[in-house]
Amino acid sequence: MNPSLSRRTALQAAGATVLAAGLSGLATTAARADSADSAPKLVTYPLPSGMPTNTSFKVRVRTAPDGDWQTLDIWRPQLEEINPATGSGKVYNSSMVYFDFRGSAEIEVTYLKGGTTKARIRPDSLGITPDLLGDTLRFTLDEPRDVVVQINDEIFDCLHIVTNHIDPNPPSADDPDILYFGPGVHSVTGNVLTVPSGKTVYLAGGAVLTAQVYFKDVEKAAVTGRGVIASPTNGILCEGSKNIRIEDVIVLNPRGGYVTTLGESQNVHINKLRGFSSRGNGDGIDIFSSSDVVLDGCFLRNSDDCIAIYAHRWNYYGDTRDITVQNCTLWADVAHPVNIGTHGNTDAPEVIENLVIKNLDILDHREPQMNYQGCIALNPGDSNLIQNVRIEDIRIEDFRWGQVLNMRVMYNTKYNTSVGRGIENVYIKNLSYTGTHANPSIFVGYDADHAIKNVTFENLVINGQVIADSMKKPKWYLTTDTIQWYYNEHVQNLTFLTTAEAEAAQTS
């Protein structure tokens, strides 16, 4: 489809039957949204004909406590596992459902393969314990959340449940500022949909766009809705643009590139983006040489870094600053949930600064290579300086393989042409890890001139124990010895405080 075509033409391309169903669904949704009462409501979406499905689960949902059950169509995200002996990756089929609701939603999941002995609803921090009867379980969501249902600790044959609030103001298909895609599968010439300034791409629930959404040197543009992007390359690519909004859409199984890439862009808000990937270097959201970016409420399960924050790479140049990552759930089947600092500009050194990373649930991390471990990694290379970082309210569940944290000023000759300049002024508050699989976390400055300076932990909790310099230990022990972490002589002013000690220091 040519983006210049009318929105009605876009809808008609999906076929008269789909058009009628889409408009009917929109009318129903709009009528519900306009209702003055507060009764619970539920909106489900179809899997378009021809889209792959999976057969491990049957899923039903109803408005709690006694609405009519609706059976959900199963989507098929794909996921990857690396063989550490060969480096090859094996791709697995998994399952996903999505729907919108207001009030409370009761969900019933039946594991069709049978043999269920236990079920787990993640993130663990939600505290959801399902009612389990044989191969069927039930639980209730009191508000929209993204959760993973695991049966018998299965890593890949699990169910991802994506939920949203009901859209209060879905756009009209005839709005001249909307590139509208109704339910059904849509393609565009060249597999790239270039979005003009001032325009919004809207993917209605049940829509699948088999193309990259591309923002190039534009302003005040967006992609939103309840649909799916199934692109052969980067799902969403934003270059040289500002005042961009990305909201609610699902990026499923890009066959190359990342879920979303930002390069030399400003004032980008990414809200409740969900992304799944299964190919090598299949990152989630990568940020290069950009500023004033907010990632809020995203769910990312990827075959490489879920979120990566860099400076220069490829044709992107300049500092990266004022980045907020909050309220996200991350699952890295390969590499890091959060990675910061690898790429920069040796010839004109850059800064990555003013980062806020808060309220994250990290569900998994699996990385056989020591150079790429760390649920959160600060690894400046290429003469980058990382400074002014606040990490707060991070809940790390037990993962398969890796480290809780990795801070290294590095010179990785595979990617770098120079050593990073350093890491300075990092404050980590209320970070917890519960589990047994973590390798020792590492804090390593390169040398005296490329050091790590001023890293403070407040209320670090490892398996229920608060780690602080004042804790009871042999006087010749380092605090890091108590949890088998390591730092070298090029780390200056590494401090571990209780909350009370931190508050006392602030008032003194």
Q: How confident is the model at residue 279, as a pLDDT?
A: 86
Q: How confident is the model at residue 32, as a pLDDT?
A: 40
3-state secondary structure of 488: coil
Tokens 């210049």 -> residue: 4
Q: CA 249, CA 259: separation in Å to the nearest integer?
A: 11
- Claim: this prediction has a pTM higher than 0.85: yes
Contact 468, 494 (CB under 8 A): no
Backbone angles phi, psi at 484, to 5 degrees: 60, 45
Please state the separation of Cα 389 from the chain's center in Å: 19
Q: How confident is the model at residue 37, as a pLDDT?
A: 53
**How would DSSP label each residue in 339-350?**
EE-----SSS--
Give me 260's structure tokens.
């979303």
Q: How far apart are the first and last CA of the chain?
A: 64
Q: Cβ contacts of residue 330 below 8 Å, gap of 6+? A: 284, 300, 301, 306, 307, 337, 338, 360, 361, 362, 363
Contact 363, 330 (CB under 8 A): yes
3-state secondary structure of 62: strand
Q: CA 355, CA 307: separation in Å to the nearest integer?
A: 13
Contact 490, 446 (CB under 8 A): yes
Tell me the C-alpha to C-alpha distance, in Å, between residue 252 and each of 21, 205, 227: 23, 14, 10
3-state secondary structure of 208: strand
Contact 381, 414 (CB under 8 A): no
Contact 456, 426 (CB under 8 A): yes
Contact 75, 84 (CB under 8 A): no
Q: CA 62, CA 66: separation in Å to the nearest integer?
A: 7
Contact 239, 286 (CB under 8 A): no
Residue 172, amino acid: S
By the 10 Å C-beta count (0-12 exposed, 13-18 middle, 19+ buried), 414 is classed as: exposed
**Domains, the chain, with CATH or none:** 1-37 (no CATH), 38-164 (2.60.350.10), 214-450 (2.160.20.10)
Sort strands 486-487 and 465-467 into parallel, antiparallel or unpaired: unpaired
Q: CA 167, CA 175: separation in Å to the nearest integer?
A: 17
Q: CA 378, CA 441: separation in Å to the nearest integer?
A: 12
Q: CA 504, CA 508: separation in Å to the nearest integer?
A: 6
Contact 43, 100 (CB under 8 A): yes
Q: How confident is the model at residue 173, as a pLDDT?
A: 95
Tens digit of pLDDT at every position of the chain (508 positions) = 443 333 333 333 333 333 333 333 333 443 444 444 555 699 999 999 999 999 999 999 999 888 999 999 999 999 999 999 999 999 999 999 999 999 999 999 999 999 999 999 999 999 999 999 999 999 999 999 999 999 999 999 999 999 999 998 899 999 999 999 999 999 999 999 999 999 999 999 999 999 999 999 999 999 999 999 999 889 999 999 999 999 999 999 877 789 999 999 999 999 999 999 998 889 999 999 999 999 999 999 999 999 999 999 999 999 999 999 999 999 999 999 999 999 999 999 999 999 999 999 999 999 999 999 999 999 999 999 999 999 999 999 999 999 999 999 999 999 999 999 999 999 999 999 999 999 999 999 999 999 999 999 999 999 999 999 999 999 999 999 999 999 999 999 999 999 999 999 988 7
